[in-house]
Structure 1
């Protein structure tokens, strides 16, 4: 059999029960190969390169004593030498001395007095450390550059100001910054903050600059809080405190969107639980991601919309203003679950309100009457093609051979149509492997029951029933055959544990009860 790989899928099970590495519970992945064969394995949630975290375990293998001892040793070695409380006490003392007598040790990730330098003779030091550095540590700490682990890109000031303006317009008083340190710094560095802010970030260096009530060491890919139960209580107390809460998150662009969306919904559920809110209350979220990832974002977070605002970074080679940036401006946008008219964008930067679309758009985004909207995505003014019946990029031209608009230097493909999705699991057309009814999916959001017809196969054959719960768990939806089910309650991203009710037809008997896995049916 060919060993050609068709990609790796994320299996979102009960993540907290998975084996743990130094970054918290690992993630169950499924590697699919040609012919539908697949293997599952556990790997680190935060690192996409095993050079940064070597954890790897085949799901069907038992965890032996040697591995357990290795993981335990690595976990102990990864623990900081001092507690967060001790780091904060040191910060309080450092504030009382002059900036010229302060240093920051890059090797030990801690603030020190200059008279302590003898204990750091082989370390890399930064000095002086100003009061501004203490309030805005992202201006002092060198950004991490590991592209598949902790690559850090920091918002430009104008983008921070716009995000704070959006939060003000949404009448927010509490901000949960998930991997957005510049926003947190802008809030906490003022003498009279307009918001209360809590920073959740995987960069543990921020412990030296913020109190345990303002910073928590956190992994956004598995919703893991480092340090045990105390940080979790701080988090729950914050999201449950009085005031309107919103999330601002700036995740790594190479991270798995399924995990990011799943954990944002977990935070929303925690917020509802902490405040005893009903399941219809929506937690405002500002999610920063590139516009060319729009399809992936909306497939996992279908209630979100993309704003036109171009987010700039101070230290990114492309996503910034100036001669080194992209020709049409930054490709990074803000996605939100709020209405477009609620998110006012700065008129000083050329944004305006479109009365027809009822949302704020860029000056280059001209409303198209034929399409019924402001259609530009990349910062240019799109043009409408009557033959295609839609707006396209201004550099594209309609090709009569291809029957649709293409770049002028493209290679013609006569009568070419977008390929029909093909399932790598069963080989059938019309769906992908993620929606295949024969795929083994150990997920609490996909519980299965298999029913076999008691009559002759020629009359009914085998049937599979996939039970999915409604948002309010009031009914279950059932699908048969190879087609994925249609979920009509409008909130497919909020599937929860199913309460399966068998088909009413009496000519079917139960073969297997509701399980957390889907056996492969024989047709």
Structure 2
């Protein structure tokens, strides 16, 4: 799902315990979403699957909606599947891929990527896989027969090849099942020793908060059906470009990116073959809550084991002693900037005015700084030298001198910056939860 207007729309995502069908009106594609530009009270409901009104023209102002007059949500009848006894047939190799990026963006994994997934399932001793928007993976597992899988997909053509015990027409943006979901619930029920994992490959234009909401809802359903504590983790593989990692971690901070570069057979850029392929390989990665040290990447595919990180990394990813990590994300060999005290892309240059590395010299410093998070207070929109919170704290603490811009603003030393200053605790208190950090000034 993408935005077709210049003004950014905000999105209301309810708590996981709430049922969207009870709170929102429905269109033919299930419960709608509530969008707004200023406040939720001025919002409107629109289709969750189609942002193009030519594909679904449903729109209702929030002021016109009365949930007491809602219509019951209809569940479709599963079509008569024309299945074949030859389970090795894979229709994704014959069907024309649906190519509307706003809705389907249907791209299929290549064979090496399928091998990667099967390697991980074997290493993690996975017994069942929910294939959410990954039809080729489902048919691959169906053919090999070693792991059970269930396909949730928005392409109704797969109903012609699969039975209700392994497929349901599904909208991942609102967790809506178009057919009865009992077969899927039966699949989610596991024996005491069985392990289940969800693999999802959403359209890259999708709002990440919607996918995160759906994954949490499926986790809750799985835990309820198996009588597990509500917060019991469920293994997740979320396929997305590395440069969207900040959006994913904002919604699911427990997910980390694996170095493996996933290739598609029918995408010119997201692959390492062909004249239009990226010189540093596909940007698509797997974000997962599975500890990265448990994943197995093949050396013959261009990966190595880092003894210091204790995990597999890409060959070009060199270990940084200062960061204590193999920091590269995009297929290049990163370099460590002593001023920023982090690893950055090799073509980046350091701007002393911005106190950051940027992709080019001569940039608009004011605009660049407006998009940065302050290393002192953690807020977006300024850098440390313009931090009003810090200036107030300086006055309250009666700081005796101002330090040079090139040094640490907290202690004045030049060997580190404010993010790694050992005296931070005197001025800022930080809380950490599942990879997310909240910074609060101590004297406000």
TM-score tier (shorter)? 0.7 to 0.9
Identify the match of residue 256 of structure 1 among 194, 201, 207.
207
Q: Is residue 2:83 matched to residue 1:91? A: yes
Q: CA deviation at 1:279?
A: 2.9
How many angstroms apart in 1 are the aligned matches of 2:367 and 2:122? 51
| Aligned structure 1 segments of 4 or more residues deviating by more than 3 angstroms | 399-404, 414-422, 429-432, 486-493
| Matching residue of 1:382 | 334
Alignment-derived partner of residue 236 in structure 2:
285
Cα deviation for residue 261 of structure 1 reads 0.2
Change (3 A) 1:421 1:301: same
The 1:487–1:208 alpha-carbon spacing in structure 2 relative to 1, beyond 3 Å, is: farther
Q: Per the alignment, do residues 208 and 416 of structure 1 end up closer, same or farther by CA in structure 2, a change over 3 Å counting?
A: closer
1:398 CA displacement: 2.7
Farther off after superposition, 364-373 or 272-281: 272-281
- The answer for the alignment partner of 1:306 in structure 2 is 257
**How far, CA to CA, are the matches of 2:430 and 2:13 in structure 1?**
19
1:336 alignment counterpart: 288
| Residues in 1 aligned to 2:91 and 2:283: alpha-carbon distance in whole angstroms | 26
**CA separation in 2, counterparts of 1:12 and 1:174?**
29
Give, in angstroms, the shift of residue 215 of structure 1.
Answer: 0.8
Give the equivalent residue in structure 2 for 1:51: 54
Cα distance in 2 for partners of 1:303, 1:414 equals 33
Match of 2:313 in 1: 361
| CA distance in structure 2 between the partners assigned to 1:144 and 1:255 by the alignment | 16
Superposition RMSD in Å: 3.1
- With over 3 angstroms needed to count, the CA separation of the structure-2 counterparts of 1:264 and 1:394, relative to structure 1, is same
The alignment partner of 1:205 has SS state of: helix
- Show the counterpart of 2:182: 233
Which of 254, 276, 283 aligns to 2:227? It is: 276
1:441-452 correspondence to structure 2 within 5 Å: none
CA distance in structure 2 between the partners assigned to 1:489 and 1:414 by the alignment: 30
Structure 1 residues 415 and 37: alpha-carbon distance in aligned structure 2, compared to 1, 3 A threshold: closer
Is the counterpart of residue 394 in structure 1 residue 346 in structure 2? Answer: yes
CA–CA distance in structure 2, aligned partners of residues 217 and 392 of structure 1: 43
Q: Equivalent residue of 2:102, what SS?
A: coil
Deviations 1:473-511 (A, max 9, x none): xxxxxxxxxxxxx99693699xxxxxxxxxxxxxxxxxx
Q: What does residue 398 of structure 2 align with?
A: none
Larger radius of gyration: 1
Task: Classify 1:344/1:398 alpha carbon distance in 2 versus 1 (closer, same or farther; 3 Å).
Answer: same
Q: Report the TM-score, using the length of structure 1 for normalisation.
A: 0.66
Q: CA deviation at 1:85?
A: 5.2
Give the Cα–Cα distance (whole angstroms) in 2 for the partners of residues 359 and 421 of structure 1: 29
Cα distance in 1 for residues equivalent to 2:235 and 2:341? 35
Aligned length: 373
**Partners of 1:371 and 1:420 in 2: how far apart?**
20
DSSP 3-state at the match of 1:360: strand
1:87-134 deviations in Å (ceiling 9; x for gaps): x2x435xx6xxxxxxxxxxxxxxxxxxxxxxxxxxxxxxxxxxx68x7
Map of 2:153 onto structure 1? 201
Do the aligned partners of 1:5 and 1:31 also contact (CA within 8 Å) in 2?
no
Per the TM alignment, residue 29 of structure 1 is displaced from its structure 2 partner at its CA by 1.5
**1:310-325 correspondence runs (5 A):** 310-322=261-273, 323-325=275-277
Distance 2:231 2:431 in 1: 16
Structure 1's unaligned 5+ residue stretches are: 96-130, 423-428, 433-485, 494-523
Separation in structure 2 between the aligned mates of residue 492 and residue 389 of structure 1, nearest angstrom: 19
Look up the match of 2:113. 159
Question: Are the structure 2 counterparts of residues 487 and 51 from structure 1 closer, same or farther at C-alpha, using a change threshold of 3 Å?
Answer: farther
Instruction: Provide Cα deviations, 1:302-335, integer angstroms capped at 9, x if missing partner.
Output: 1111101101000112101213211110000000
Structure 1 residues 175 and 37, CA gap change in structure 2 (3 angstroms): closer
Matched, 1:30 2:24: no
Q: Does 1:490 align with 2:442?
A: no
- Residue 349 of structure 1: which of 292, 301, 304 is its match? 301
Which residue matches 1:496?
none
- Counterpart of 1:40 in structure 2 is 43
Instruction: Go from structure 1 to structure 2 and tell me whether the alpha carbon gap of 1:169 and 1:43 turns closer, same or farther (over 3 Å shift).
Output: same
What's the CA shift for 1:194?
Answer: 0.9
Q: Could you tell me how far 1:402 is from its partner in structure 2?
A: 4.5
Shift of 1:375: 0.9
* Contact 2:12–2:40 (8 Å) recurs in 1: no
